[in-house]
Amino acid sequence: MKYNFAILGAGSIAQRMGETVQKTDIVNGYAVASRDLSRAQKLADKYGFDKAYGSYDEMLADPAVDLVYIATPHVFHASQIEQCLRAGKHVLCEKSFTINADQARRVTALAQEKGLLLAEAIWPRYMPMAKTLREFAAGDKIGKIHSLTANLGYPVYHRERLHDRSLGGGALLDVGIYPLTFVSLILGDEVTEICSSAKLSETGVDTFENIVFTYASGAQASIFSSVTCPTDRRGVVYGEKGYAEVGNVNNYEYLRIYNTDHELIEETLCPPQVTGFEYELAACAEAISNGWTQCPDAPHEMSITMMELMDKIRSPWGLEYPEL
């Protein structure tokens, strides 16, 4: 069965999802909703969706809608997730899932209560390369892992939602989630100590930060994220018998493993993609078919843990977001 898929929001990330739906046969591109009907209609026409709505309420009242993809700024996510779930719709919500852990706990509890799927669209979690990285981390190809570094940065601070605190702006929620996800895949989530520093803008949001995690195993992770400068986007893992390099922690391109003599001993490349979003779509379709309220690759506990970590990271900075 192909589920009727709707997109809530018509920004740039919605365009990429529209392309994914159009170029795959996973779900039926059914509806687009925006507060501006002309924007919804333009996106629907471009990617072959059946309907366009000028309000979210109108789209959610359509009984034919099965699964809603939320593609709005993250400050709106919690309220829109609740709105969708109360309308009886399954939900795939863009990262960052919410703006704090309390919201994440609230919406996941509601999904469980309603018996509906709620999944975070943190796309690297669903990719085949994520499984490759987990298997690598569990193996012994570079011996015991002592540390890793990961970074992600883009010069995108000029975009309104990134410098506006009322829209959940800042580097951590928008780009920092990706190196944090990479670190989680490799080292897990038993973080025992967090040290961080951030550069705050005149609007009060973080433009870049450096974060160091210490784990129960004794390993450490060093993370840098930025919305004011480009970075090489690499993740590097250091072990007793060698090290490994991962290209692009936002969309894993390769895993290269080196020995202590800096010789390349193994390389795994990312399989061909449509857009990379197809994996989360397929995971949602599978979950709905099986009656699951969460996707195994990105369970609710993972989303809550990530939000808890980000709450702890930004707490010393004094960065809080207004509740909507």
Q: Structural domain boundaries of the chain?
A: 4-121+276-300, 128-272
pLDDT bracket for residue 278 (50, 70, 90): very high
Instruction: Give the pLDDT score at 230.
Output: 98
What pLDDT digit, counting tens, does each position of 195-254 carry? 999 999 999 999 999 999 999 999 999 999 999 999 999 999 999 999 999 999 999 999
- Give how far Cα 72 sits from Cα of 92, 98, 226, 303, Å: 12, 11, 20, 17
Rounded Cα distance between 30 and 53, Å, is 11
Share of the chain above pLDDT 70, in %: 99
Q: How many other C-beta atoms can be found within 10 angstroms of the C-beta atom of residue 258?
A: 19
Rounded-to-5 percentages of helix, strand, coil across the chain: 40, 25, 35
Instruction: Give the pLDDT score at 322.
Output: 78
Return the active site residues: 95
Position 290 pLDDT exceeds 70: yes
The residues, any chain, with a CB within 8 Å of residue 197's CB and separated by 6 or more, are: 209, 210
The correct answer on CATH 3.30.360.10 for the domain covering 128-272 is: yes
Instruction: Give the pLDDT score at 180.
Output: 98
Mean pLDDT of the region 73-96? 97
Instruction: Give the pLDDT score at 324.
Output: 52
Instruction: Give the pLDDT score at 206.
Output: 97
Look up the CATH superfamily of 4-121+276-300.
NAD(P)-binding Rossmann-like Domain (3.40.50.720)
CA-based R_g, the chain, Å: 20
What pLDDT digit, counting tens, does each position of 303-321 carry? 999 999 999 999 999 998 8
Q: Do domains 4-121+276-300 and 128-272 have the same CATH topology?
A: no
What pLDDT digit, counting tens, does each position of 108-132 carry? 999 999 999 999 999 999 999 999 9
Mean pLDDT of the chain: 97
3-state secondary structure of 133: helix
What pLDDT digit, counting tens, does each position of 16-29 carry? 999 999 999 999 99
* CA nearest neighbour of 107 among 291, 286, 284, 307: 307
What pLDDT digit, counting tens, does each position of 162-204 carry? 999 999 999 999 999 999 999 999 999 999 999 999 999 999 9
Position 323 pLDDT exceeds 70: no
CA atoms within 13 A on the CB side of 156: 14
> pTM higher than 0.75 for the full model?
yes
Mean pLDDT of the region 43-61? 98
